[in-house]
Amino acid sequence: MNITKEQIDDLNAVVTVAITKDDYQDKVDKILKDYRKQANIPGFRKGQVPLGLIKKQYGKSILVDEVNKLLQDNLNKYLTEEKLDVLGNPLPKQQDNFDWDNEELAFEFELGLAPDFKVSLDTKKPITRYKIVADKKMVNEQVDRMQKQYGKLVSKTEVSKNDEVTGTFKNEEEDIDNKATLELQKIKSKKSLEALKGKKVGDSITVKTKGLFKEDYLLSSVLGVSQEKAKDLDIEVNFTISEINEREPAALNQELFDKLFGEGKITSEKEMKERIKEDSEKQFEQQADQKLLNDVTEYFIDNTKFKLPSEFLTKWIQMTGEEPLTEDQANAEYAKSEKGLRYQLIEGKIIKDNGIQLQFEELKEFAKGFIRSQMAQYGQLDPKEEELDNIAARVLGNEDEAKRLSEQLMSQKLLNLYKEKANLKTKEMNYEDFIKEVYG
């Protein structure tokens, strides 16, 4: 067997694999003899079928199978040994007048080669790194929400501005008949608020659905309809009051601190606010980090210039899908995937140039950290190390989960690298301003 490569240009090559009869004949003969031992052909005893008849019936298909196995094994070995960085997979070239009866067979494969390029982490243009702070207003609002969540309901005889009013919404034409609780602080419509004030159990009012709430998503839940239906709903509904309550906030005392943070962890309102600020800013940091990762990614895609073997890749997409594509379909698929492919190459280059590796032990510790945070959400704040080890082993035993966690850990390593070496400028703001600036 002989394998040679013809370099077409920097991004394309053709590999020719020449196979002689000596490369495959022994294997083919052995399989034919095994077939003969097992063959059941009318008119012959088992194992006594003439070898010539076996060759006539099965010889060509066995030859093709064995040659294809040789091709696959040796072509992959060649690409590895020659350290050829190929994109997609080798594509067999159409060869007219190919004859399987020849003693010497030659097969040609097209290769698309990865481009050679450089990536500079020291970006020319500074990239914004957001630092989101939990300001005093946000912390105080969070304290208020916690007090209300753990407070108690006090029954009232008539509605005032901060109450929670339970009742039934009805509109026969729209088939609406749903019992729900309104928090008056979330109502936007001044007309509806005025109509509710002073009302008692058993009273009814008519409200317009459009612009009823400060947050539009609340309408679907109180009316018992889908978000899609509630989105443009502009009707009048009847609301009959069945219950009026005022939520009395929980006192800021040790009992509340223990419920929220665990026994003895927090002992004062000051410590509570410091903890809320700390926890909030940890969550904000995750959002800011994701924004930074996205922005650095976009920067590299836009500013790292290299060519791709686009013609080869389009042909590869056309030929290797579950179903063959037309040329136009393949061009469209390539256009959709090109940006992702470019970043895969850029990311791979950054990983290689900076010697970034994933070790199993650090992946295991990363998985344990993820598991620990999941357990904390369900009140398990101090799991034993043995328990974490066992769960991590099960998680990493799942191929899909192991891949997902590996990708997350690699993203974290890349993020740390960008924070260290990229040209970043820090911009500090509160969460509300961050949302406005980033998401409009």
Does 24 map to a domain? yes
List Cα–Cα distances, 21 to 16, 65, 216, in angstroms: 16, 14, 75
Task: Let me know how many helices (H) and strands (E) the chain has, helices first.
Answer: 14, 11
CA 270-273-276 angle, 5° bins:
150
- Segment 140-162 shows an average pLDDT of 92
CA–CA dist 342, 114 (Å, integer):
10
Distance from CA of residue 407 to its chain's centroid? Answer: 10
Q: What is the domain-level CATH number for residue 212?
A: 3.10.50.30
Residue 195 and residue 320 in one domain: no
Residue 89: the pLDDT is: 92
Residue 308 and residue 427 in one domain: yes
420: alpha, beta or left, given left = phi > 0 and alpha = psi -120 to 50?
alpha
Reported as a pLDDT band with limits 50, 70 and 90, residue 321 is confident
pLDDT tens by residue, 116-137:
999 999 888 899 999 999 999 9
Q: Which residue has the tokens 């060759």?
A: 55
Residue 338 and residue 435 in one domain: yes
Please say if the pLDDT value at position 45 is more than 90: no
Nearest alpha carbon to residue 285 among 167, 185, 434: 434
Residue 280 and residue 419 in one domain: yes
Higher-scoring residue by pLDDT: 295, 374: 295
Kindly report which listed range (68-72, 319-323, 413-417) carries the lowest average pLDDT score.
Answer: 319-323
Residue 172 and residue 227 in one domain: yes
Does 131 map to a domain? no
Please say if the pLDDT value at position 352 is more than 80: yes
Among 213, 248, 283, where does a domain finish? Answer: 248
pLDDT tens by residue, 233-287:
999 999 999 999 998 999 999 999 998 888 899 999 999 999 999 999 999 999 9
Among 54, 89, 113, where does a domain finish? Answer: 113
Q: For residue 31, give the amino acid letter.
A: I
Residue 106 and residue 46 in one domain: yes
Residue 395 and residue 300 in one domain: yes
Residue 19 φ/ψ, nearest 5 degrees: -120, 135
Does 123 map to a domain? no
Distance from CA of residue 31 to its chain's centroid? Answer: 47
Residue 380: the pLDDT is: 75
Q: What is the domain-level CATH number for residue 36?
A: 3.30.70.1050
Question: Domain range for residue 107?
Answer: 2-113
Does 145 map to a domain? no
- Is 26:118 a contact under the CB 8 Å cutoff? no
* Percent above pLDDT 90 for the chain: 74
Per the structure, the count of domains in the chain is: 3
155: exposed, middle or buried (C-beta count within 10 Å: 0-12, 13-18, 19+)? Answer: exposed
In this prediction the pTM is 0.73
Residue 160 and residue 298 in one domain: no
Please say if the pLDDT value at position 49 is more than 90: no
Does 88 map to a domain? yes
CA–CA dist 417, 63 (Å, integer):
53
Residue 94 and residue 165 in one domain: no
Residue 98: the pLDDT is: 85
Does 397 map to a domain? yes
Residue 38: the pLDDT is: 75
- Segment 65-89 shows an average pLDDT of 93
Does 256 map to a domain? no
Residue 337: the pLDDT is: 94
Residue 1: the pLDDT is: 86
Residue 202 and residue 107 in one domain: no
Q: What is the domain-level CATH number for residue 375?
A: 1.10.3120
Nearest alpha carbon to residue 230 among 204, 251, 212: 212
Residue 77: the pLDDT is: 94
List Cα–Cα distances, 161 to 196, 258, 375, 414, in angstroms: 9, 31, 39, 51
Kindly report the average pLDDT of the chain as a whole number: 91
CA–CA dist 152, 171 (Å, integer):
32
Reported as a pLDDT band with limits 50, 70 and 90, residue 422 is very high
Does 125 map to a domain? no
Q: Which residue has the tokens 């939520």?
A: 247
CA–CA dist 170, 437 (Å, integer):
40
Residue 252: the pLDDT is: 95
Please say if the pLDDT value at position 71 is more than 80: yes
Q: What is the CA radius of gyration of the chain?
A: 35
Residue 177 and residue 322 in one domain: no
Residue 311: the pLDDT is: 95
One-character DSSP codes across 54-121:
HHHHHHHHHHHHHHHHHHHHHHHHHHHHTT--EEEEEEEPP-TT--TTSSEEEEEEEEEEPPP----S
Kindly report which listed range (13-17, 102-106, 138-142) carries the lowest average pLDDT score.
Answer: 102-106
Residue 381: the pLDDT is: 67
Q: Could you give the maximum distance between any two Cα atoms of the chain, in Å? A: 104
The neighbour count for residue 12, using CB atoms within 10 Å, is 15
Residue 157: the pLDDT is: 93
Residue 275 and residue 240 in one domain: no
Reported as a pLDDT band with limits 50, 70 and 90, residue 138 is very high
Among 57, 92, 113, where does a domain finish? Answer: 113
Please say if the pLDDT value at position 47 is more than 90: no
- Segment 177-184 shows an average pLDDT of 94
